Structure 1
Amino acid sequence: MMRGISVIEDLFERPERNIAVVTHGNLLSLILKHYDNSYGFDEWSSLTNPDVYELVKAVEEVTPSINRIWK
């Protein structure tokens, strides 16, 4: 999980505004849980294949907002 989080954190530091990251569901759920502790088993089990989430981090924010955009 920490390797995945470190990649995401590195990407937040890049100058590009839009970056796509592809991963499998287990790591995705761990990354989401890192940023929002309410993610748990129910959220993991409701992931679809494929599934798409958006993490948006404003400059002044510590934690990104999480939006599921695959419906």
Structure 2
Amino acid sequence: MNITTAEIKPMPAADITCRVTYPSLGRQVVDSMLILGRTGLITGVGATVLFGVAIAIAYALAAGLGLLGFDASSSY
């Protein structure tokens, strides 16, 4: 029951190969620009939201401390 190399049948080349297609250079550039645009858009929206939240917190703290409506010229 020993297996020798003569008993192993080779597979035909057509059964183990597959066709690999690569995108063209133009398509890669378009895909890269789309990814870059989406990343920029998401980053910009996130930064805007964080900046808005920071302003809202600063406004709330200033209102809580009674600093809103303070006129510096009234101290003269």
TM-score normalised over the length of structure 1: 0.21
Q: Which has the higher helix share?
A: 2
Greater RCO, CA 8 A, separation 6+:
1
Larger Rg: 2
